[in-house]
Amino acid sequence: METLLLINGPNLNMLGIREPEKYGKTTLQAIVERLTQQASQEGYKLLAFQSNSEGDIVSFIHHNGLSARGALVNAGAYTHTSIALRDALLAVNLPFIEIHLSNIYAREAFRHHSFLADKALGVITGFGDYSYDLGLLALIHFLREKSHA
């Protein structure tokens, strides 16, 4: 079974508690369980990781990125600050989709810039926890189209 990565950055462990009016009431654990089941139904293993530490996320990508087929990445605030995460994803040549719960373009100006977006297959933003489902569907579609090309 091929592996897909689900990478979550800082503060996403607080989903369901942190600003539920902005990020929703669904926990990260519930999202991971739901996506793990969806991925399995499509013939993929989902390996989920969350850290508040940039270096730990980079190490996870280095360790798992070469053997994975693709990734869903919600880098949280690191989206707007981390060249290291960008470089790690590029180093392992991993196709990925950038995900955000809130519409980052309807928020503060500093959130409008992403260090990942220009290297991502696409960006899904603003659909709450359903952004993850949309990202998974899009990633699987991309991988299947790629394998048929």
Tell me the CATH number at 38. 3.40.50.9100
Tell me the average pLDDT across 63-80.
Answer: 96
Q: Is 87 annotated as a binding residue?
A: yes
Query: What is the count of structural domains for the chain?
Result: 1
Assign 148 a pLDDT band (cuts: 50, 70, 90): confident
Does residue 8 contact residue 50 with C-beta atoms inside 8 Å?
yes
Query: Is the pLDDT score of 24 beyond 80?
Result: no
Q: What is the pLDDT at residue 18?
A: 82
pLDDT in tens, 31-43: 999 999 999 999 9
* Residue tagged active-site, from 44, 78, 100, 132: 100
Q: State phi, psi for 53 to the nearest 5 degrees.
A: -110, 120
pTM: 0.94
Assess whether 112 carries a catalytic annotation.
no
Assess whether 130 carries a catalytic annotation.
no
Query: In terms of pLDDT, which residue wins out, 55 or 105?
Result: 55
Q: Is 101 annotated as a binding residue?
A: yes
Amino acid at 51: S
pLDDT in tens, 95-136: 999 999 988 776 777 677 898 999 999 999 999 999 999 999
Percent helix, strand, coil in the chain, to 5, is 50, 20, 30
* Residue tagged active-site, from 23, 44, 78, 132: 23
**Structural domain span for residue 64:** 2-148
Assign 65 a pLDDT band (cuts: 50, 70, 90): very high
Q: Is 118 annotated as a binding residue?
A: no
Q: Is 5 annotated as a binding residue?
A: no
Query: Is the pLDDT score of 145 beyond 70?
Result: yes
